[in-house]
A and B are shown apart, each in its own frame.
Chain A
Amino acid sequence: MSSETIVETDVLVIGGGIAGCFAAIKAKEQGVEVTLVDKGYVSKTGETPFSGNFGVCSPEFFGHDLAAWMNQVSFLGEYVNDPEWTEITLKESYARWQDLLSWGVQFVKYPNGDWMWWPPRTPERLAKVPFQAIRYFRRKHAEVCRAQAIKTGVRIMDRVIITDLLKQDGNVVGAIGMPIGSYDLYIFKAKATVMATGTATLKPHGAVWAALTGDGEAMAYRAGAEITGKEWNDCHAAIAVNPGANNQHVQGDFTKDRADDYGEHIADGYNAEGNKFSDGEEEVALYIMPDVFEADAGRAPVFSDMATKSSRPAPAPKGIIRQQVDIEAEKKGWQREVAGHGLGMSVHITEGIWPINTKCATGVPGLYAAGDSCGARQGGSRYTAKGFATMSCAVTGTRAGLGAAEYASQAKKPVVDEEELARLKKILYMPVERKGGFSPGWTTQVLRNTLTPYWVLYFKHGERLQRALAEVEFLRDRILPKLTAKDPHELVLALQTKNMVLCAEMKLRASLFRTESRGTHYREDYPRRDDPAWLAWVKIKEEQGEMKCSKEPIPEKWWPDLSKPYEERYPVRFPGE
Chain B
Amino acid sequence: MSIERIDPELCNGCGTCVDSCMVDVIRMDEEGKKAIVRYPEDCTGCTFCEQDCPENAIFLSEIKTEPLLVCWG
A: which residues have CB within 8 A of B? 39-41, 44-46, 49-50, 139, 158-159, 180-181, 203, 205, 207-211, 242, 244-248, 317-319, 321-322, 324, 438-439, 441-442, 445-446, 449, 489, 492-493
Contact = CB atoms under 8 A, between A and B. Distances in A.
B62 A210 contact: no
Given A50-B46, A246-B44, 9 more contacts: A44-B22, A46-B22, A139-B48, A159-B24, A208-B44, A246-B64, A247-B46, A318-B50, A438-B73
A49 B60 CA distance: 19
A246 B39 contact: no
B29 interface: no
Given A319-B60, A439-B73, A244 B19 contact: no
B13 interface: no
B72 A442 contact: yes
A317 B50 contact: yes
Contacts of A248: 1, 45
A166 B4 CA distance: 40
B53 to A, nearest CB: 8
A324 B62 contact: yes
B73 A317 contact: no
Contacts of A244: 63-66
A321 B1 contact: yes
A213 to B, nearest CB: 10
Contacts of A41: 19-20, 22
B72 A319 contact: no
Given A317-B47, A445-B69, A245 B62 contact: yes
A129 B22 CA distance: 36
A49 B48 contact: yes
A499 to B, nearest CB: 14
Interface in B20-52: 20-24, 27, 38-39, 41-48, 50-52
A317 B51 contact: yes
B2 interface: yes
B24 A489 contact: yes
A44 B27 CA distance: 16
A138 B21 CA distance: 16
A158 B19 CA distance: 8
A449 B69 contact: yes
26 contacts: A41-B20, A44-B19, A44-B20, A44-B21, A44-B52, A46-B22, A50-B46, A208-B44, A245-B62, A246-B1, A246-B2, A246-B46, A247-B45, A247-B47, A317-B51, A318-B51, A319-B47, A319-B50, A319-B59, A321-B1, A322-B62, A441-B73, A445-B66, A445-B73, A446-B69, A489-B38
Contacts of A246: 1-2, 43-46, 64
B20 to A, nearest CB: 5
Contacts of A44: 19-22, 48, 52
Contacts of A46: 22
A492 B21 CA distance: 14
B26 to A, nearest CB: 11
A318 B56 contact: yes
Nearest to A180: B24
A485 to B, nearest CB: 13
Contacts of B48: 44, 49, 139
A491 to B, nearest CB: 11
Contacts of B1: 245-248, 321
A407 B44 CA distance: 38
Contact of A210 (B42, B50, B65): B42
Contacts of B45: 208, 245-248
A159 B50 contact: no
A158 B43 CA distance: 19
A180 B22 CA distance: 10
B62 A40 contact: no
A211 B48 CA distance: 14
A209 B22 CA distance: 9
A228 B13 CA distance: 45
Residue of A50, A139, A180 ringed by the most chain B CB atoms within 10 A = A180
B62 A205 contact: no
Contacts of A40: 19, 21-23
Nearest to B48: A44
Contacts of B69: 445-446, 449
Nearest to A318: B51
Contacts of A317: 47, 50-51
A448 to B, nearest CB: 9
A181 B24 contact: yes
Contact of B62 (A211, A321, A493): A321
A489 B23 CA distance: 9
Given A205-B66, A324-B62, A211 B22 contact: yes
Nearest to A320: B60
A207 B44 contact: yes
A441 B38 CA distance: 15
B62 A159 contact: no
Contacts of A159: 19, 24
B27 A181 contact: yes
Q: What 8 A-B pairs have minimum CB-CB distances, sorted nearest first?
A: A246-B45, A442-B73, A40-B22, A41-B19, A244-B64, A208-B46, A210-B44, A211-B22
A321 B19 CA distance: 22
Nearest to A49: B48
Given A246-B64, A317-B50, A442-B70, A489 B39 contact: yes
A382 B50 CA distance: 34
Contacts of B22: 39-41, 44-46, 211
